[in-house]
Amino acid sequence: MSATIKDVAKRAKVSISTVSLVINNNPRISESTRQRVLKAIRELNYYPRRAARGLVSHKTGNIGFILTEDHFSRHEPFYTRIFLGTEFEARELEYYILLTTVHPDFKPTSRLPRFILERNVDGVIFAGKVPDSLIQLIEARGIPVVFVDYHPPRGNYPAVLIDNISGGMLATQHLIDCGRRRIGFLGGDFDHPSIYDRYQGYRQALERNHIPFEDNRVVTDEPYPDRISGYQAMEKLLAKAPDVDAIFACNDAMALGALQYLKEKHRNVPEEISIIGFDDVEADLTVDPRLSTIRVNKEELGIQAIRLMIEILNSDKKLPRKILVPVELIERESTCSITENR
Amino acid sequence: MSATIKDVAKRAKVSISTVSLVINNNPRISESTRQRVLKAIRELNYYPRRAARGLVSHKTGNIGFILTEDHFSRHEPFYTRIFLGTEFEARELEYYILLTTVHPDFKPTSRLPRFILERNVDGVIFAGKVPDSLIQLIEARGIPVVFVDYHPPRGNYPAVLIDNISGGMLATQHLIDCGRRRIGFLGGDFDHPSIYDRYQGYRQALERNHIPFEDNRVVTDEPYPDRISGYQAMEKLLAKAPDVDAIFACNDAMALGALQYLKEKHRNVPEEISIIGFDDVEADLTVDPRLSTIRVNKEELGIQAIRLMIEILNSDKKLPRKILVPVELIERESTCSITENR
DNA sequence: CCAGTATAGTAAAACGTTTTACCAATAATA
DNA sequence: TATTATTGGTAAAACGTTTTACTATACTGG
């Protein structure tokens, strides 16, 4: 087999400990022996084995990435991109990512992810909404955690979040800049902080522009913000407030559903009713008109999550810092100025 | 800290070895002591540490996934889906995937991926075309390898491949079934076995239908099969063979480029010229007309690769088996029967 | 010149498993 | 009954590092 630390020690005529100290850049070793050891390492093509290191140092060099099964399949491109962001940044910073999904109704008696049981990760990143019982179980084991695109209502954790409030304001302000005044909001599941924050951004933008908020221009009783509920919410909204001239949907899925409804009813988008979504998913480009939206840099969410995690691992303090990742307005064809055709 | 094998041994009043044997389902242990040990394990919530196991057993429970940087970025959705397929299946089979990218011009002196140096994987899956020097270096270390969507020209390795020949025949036969007879082929980089095989499928379908092959209906001098080269290849083809009534492009990217050219020249697709691609990528749905294509199940490629790898790891024989993943014809709007409007 | 203090290096324990060789007790065989 | 197998279990070595406590040597200041 290949060289071990023992072989290096023998060749450099030093003790094993000395080699170890050199590897770990301990200043206790003089320059001359350091060079001698490094030479032996080079000549033998030595590289320390992860398993041996991990056994005694209790560091694995791995970071766990956990999300629920339905998040992975339902929001596939979104969380995939966050995951790829973590992968990318982890590689830079000499870590590896271990991915796993959990069932959304994780019970306190459910079996933990294998990498937790095996103590094969130094920390865990939770992506999206995850069961509270799972969080508690992992925390109880003293494993550092970082949240991305979610923060549990209870407690105070390090988290990387989309700047949803600014995004909501940005979207709404864009519609206002288009001359729209009767702006509706389509949302689902207010329990989800992201959606609630986007709604807050909507409210704040209205207020800032001295546009009175009208309760009947808001539909938020859909349980899950997907395409179908966007379709239904649009129908409800139009029944309550037939005069809306713009829609801010809490995400692109709902926006696309709403758009579909409007097209079926032969309402002119964007002239008669402009519509803007949130997230910037691939499908936005496949529809006609292409959907204006608020772009979320998903990879950046992952990158920031890794950086935050590694900072925590290196400082081993609790630092429940929140990082807000900025968003960007993407103007496409589903929004336009009201003056253009009056 | 949490329980170790020692604690279990003490509580069950057996030796450490016995506990280990129970964990590893060794039949040497009697049912009664086995139960006693299992009880202790349950009571102490014991789970063996990966690092300690790995140190002595020389198994890591990890599988490396290597592809070149440009494959990851250029063909992003394609290889991402293969990767997700491996992730998914690995989880089922109690492995983890460690992902890394390498530079496309990996030199024999380049630094190997860290998980190789650290001996942190039991085997390596190569996705797409990878540098030969890298393959050789990894093989030289005795690490089992599996290829997916590529097989190096030299040697004989286990590989999971798209059934490109059948796919090429399927695509061409579909055009023939549409009544087309003057069918062009657009390809790039013939060095790539996939593309070459698709071309062979094209040839075979023509032959089977007794349609003479015409050299000037083929353009294959584009270096890289992307959208731009599809555009250019289409231009060249039309110059050489203005009478083509159908196009089989070696992949969707080229097909989309060709489609763009035809639209700019106001050629009627699909009536005048039908066009079919290969891969079935997301963008196929965003174009008008939506692209007919040969669907490749990317996740399935990854799943099969993992299964093959684990079979190899468990049998530790060399088994250079090839697995062909079948493809499927997807009829959309870019192909139609020639009789429809004659 | 001597006690005290850096400096540079080492020996040995520890990390938590698997595995190998061995042993005792029991069963099977001649 | 004596020998040989078989069964069920154990002791101890090994895996390849890090880390802690210790030592020898050289230096420093009084």
3-state secondary structure B136-176: HHHHHCCCCEEEECCCCCCCCCCEEEECHHHHHHHHHHHHH
Which residues are CB-contacts of A228 (< 8 A; sequence separation ≥ 6)?
A: A257
Cα-based distances in Å from A208 to A135, A181, A196, B126: 38, 13, 18, 55
Instruction: Compute the Cα dihedral for A116, B91, B283, B148 and give only its sign.
Output: positive
- The pLDDT, as a whole number, for residue A262 is 96
* Least confident stretch, A59-73, A222-236, B73-87, B264-278: B73-87
| Segments of chain A assigned to CATH 1.10.260.40 | 5-48
pLDDT-derived band of residue B197, with 50, 70 and 90 as boundaries?
Answer: very high
A96 touches chain B (CB under 8 A): yes
Asked whether the predicted pLDDT for residue A341 surpasses 50, the reply is: no
B176's tokens: 């023939």
CATH assignment of B5-46, among 1.10.600.10, 1.10.580.10, 3.90.1570.10, 1.10.260.40:
1.10.260.40
Percent of chain A with pLDDT over 70: 98
Distance (Å) from CA B68 to C1' C18?
Answer: 37
B286 touches chain A (CB under 8 A): yes
A115 touches chain B (CB under 8 A): yes
Whether A115 and B96 lie within 8 Å, measured CB to CB: yes
Give nucleotides in strand D with any atom < 7 A to a protein C-beta.
Answer: 7-21
B321's tokens: 């088996």
* Least confident stretch, B21-30, B201-210, B282-291: B282-291
Residue nearest to nucleotide D14 (CA to C1'): B56
Neighbours of A329 (CB within 10 A): 16
Å between A95 CA and nearest CA of chain B: 10
How large is the angle between the packed helices B5-12 and B31-44, nearest 10 degrees?
A: 130
CATH assignment of B62-162+299-327, among 3.30.565.10, 3.40.50.2300, 3.30.70.1020, 3.40.50.300:
3.40.50.2300
B289 touches chain A (CB under 8 A): no
A5, A78, A97, A120: which to substitute to probe chain B, counting the most B Cβ within 10 Å? A120
Of residues A317 and B91, which shows the higher confidence score?
B91
Q: Are A198 and A252 in contact (CB under 8 A)?
A: no
**What is the maximal distance between C-alpha atoms in chain A?**
88
- The pLDDT, as a whole number, for residue B1 is 60
**What is the maximal distance between C-alpha atoms in chain B?**
88
A chain contacts of residue B119, beta-carbon cutoff 8 Å: 49-51
pLDDT-derived band of residue B342, with 50, 70 and 90 as boundaries?
Answer: very low
Q: Does domain A5-48 have CATH number 1.10.260.40?
A: yes
B253's tokens: 């990217």
Q: What residue type is assigned to position B127 of the chain?
A: A
Asked whether the predicted pLDDT for residue B18 surpasses 80, the reply is: yes
Average pLDDT of chain A, as a whole number: 93
Which residues are CB-contacts of B143 (< 8 A; sequence separation ≥ 6)?
A: B116, B121, B122, B123, B124
pLDDT-derived band of residue A325, with 50, 70 and 90 as boundaries?
Answer: very high
**Residue A219's beta-bridge partner residues?**
A186
Which chain B residue is nearest to residue A60, measuring alpha carbons? B51
Residues 161-190 of A with CB under 7 A from strand D: none
Which conformational region is residue B292 in: left (phi greater than 0), alpha (psi within -120 to 50 degrees), or beta? beta
Which residues are CB-contacts of A156 (< 8 A; sequence separation ≥ 6)?
A: A320
Asked whether the predicted pLDDT for residue A340 surpasses 60, the reply is: no
- CA atoms of B292 and B311, how far apart (whole Å): 36
Q: Tell me which DSSP letter residue B273 carries.
A: S
Q: Are A252 and A259 in contact (CB under 8 A)?
A: no
Give the Cα-Cα-Cα angle B130, B222, B65 (nearest 5 degrees).
Answer: 15
- Strand order through the sheet with B96-102: B96-102, B62-68, B123-127, B145-148, B159-162, B322-325
B chain contacts of residue A98, beta-carbon cutoff 8 Å: 96
B chain contacts of residue A122, beta-carbon cutoff 8 Å: none
Whether B118 and A49 lie within 8 Å, measured CB to CB: yes
B283's tokens: 């963008």
Which chain A residue is nearest to residue B48, measuring alpha carbons? A118
Spell B45-81 as b/e; 16+ CB within 10 A means b.
ebbbbbbbbbbeeeebbbbbbbbbeebbeebeebbbb
A55 CB contact with strand D at below 7 Å: yes
B338's tokens: 């020639």
Whether B120 and A286 lie within 8 Å, measured CB to CB: no
Q: Are A198 and A223 in contact (CB under 8 A)?
A: no
- CA atoms of A242 and A235, how far apart (whole Å): 10
A99, A115, A116: which to substitute to probe chain B, counting the most B Cβ within 10 Å? A99
The string of DSSP letters for B7-69 reads HHHHHHTS-HHHHHHHHTT-TTS-HHHHHHHHHHHHHHT----HHHHHHHH---SEEEEEEEH
Q: Are A92 and A153 in contact (CB under 8 A)?
A: no
Phi, psi of B57, deg, nearest 5: -80, -15
Whether B49 and A55 lie within 8 Å, measured CB to CB: yes
pLDDT-derived band of residue B235, with 50, 70 and 90 as boundaries?
Answer: very high
B93 touches chain A (CB under 8 A): no
B51 CB contact with strand D at below 7 Å: no
Which residue, B200, B214, B201, is CA-closest to B244? B214
User: What is the CATH number that goes with domain B164-296+329-341?
Assistant: 3.40.50.2300
Neighbours of B339 (CB within 10 A): 8
| Segments of chain B assigned to CATH 1.10.260.40 | 5-46
Asked whether the predicted pLDDT for residue B191 surpasses 90, the reply is: no
| Segments of chain B assigned to CATH 3.40.50.2300 | 62-162+299-327, 164-296+329-341
A chain contacts of residue B285, beta-carbon cutoff 8 Å: 286
Whether A119 and B51 lie within 8 Å, measured CB to CB: yes
How large is the angle between the packed helices A5-12 and A31-44, nearest 10 degrees?
A: 130
Whether B101 and A118 lie within 8 Å, measured CB to CB: no
Give the Cα-Cα-Cα angle A246, A249, A252 (nearest 5 degrees).
Answer: 125
Q: How far is CA B184 from the centre of its chain?
A: 27
Give the Cα-Cα-Cα angle A48, A54, A56 (nearest 5 degrees).
Answer: 105
- The pLDDT, as a whole number, for residue A226 is 87
Does residue A289 have a cis bond before it (omega within 30 degrees)? yes
Which residue, B228, B157, B158, B153, is CA-closest to B188? B228
Question: Average pLDDT of A272-283?
Answer: 92
Neighbours of A248 (CB within 10 A): 30
- CA atoms of A175 and A114, how far apart (whole Å): 48
- The pLDDT, as a whole number, for residue A342 is 43
Whether B119 and A49 lie within 8 Å, measured CB to CB: yes
Cα-based distances in Å from A258 to A248, A269, A275, A317, B138: 10, 11, 9, 46, 53
- Strand order through the sheet with A246-249: A218-222, A183-188, A246-249, A274-276
pLDDT-derived band of residue A319, with 50, 70 and 90 as boundaries?
Answer: confident
* Least confident stretch, A261-275, B40-54, B197-211, B312-326: B312-326
- CA atoms of A48 and A217, how far apart (whole Å): 63
Å between B103 CA and nearest CA of chain A: 14
Asked whether the predicted pLDDT for residue B266 surpasses 90, the reply is: yes
* HSE toward the beta carbon, residue B295, CA cutoff 13 A: 11
- Strand order through the sheet with A62-68: A96-102, A62-68, A123-127, A145-148, A159-162, A322-325
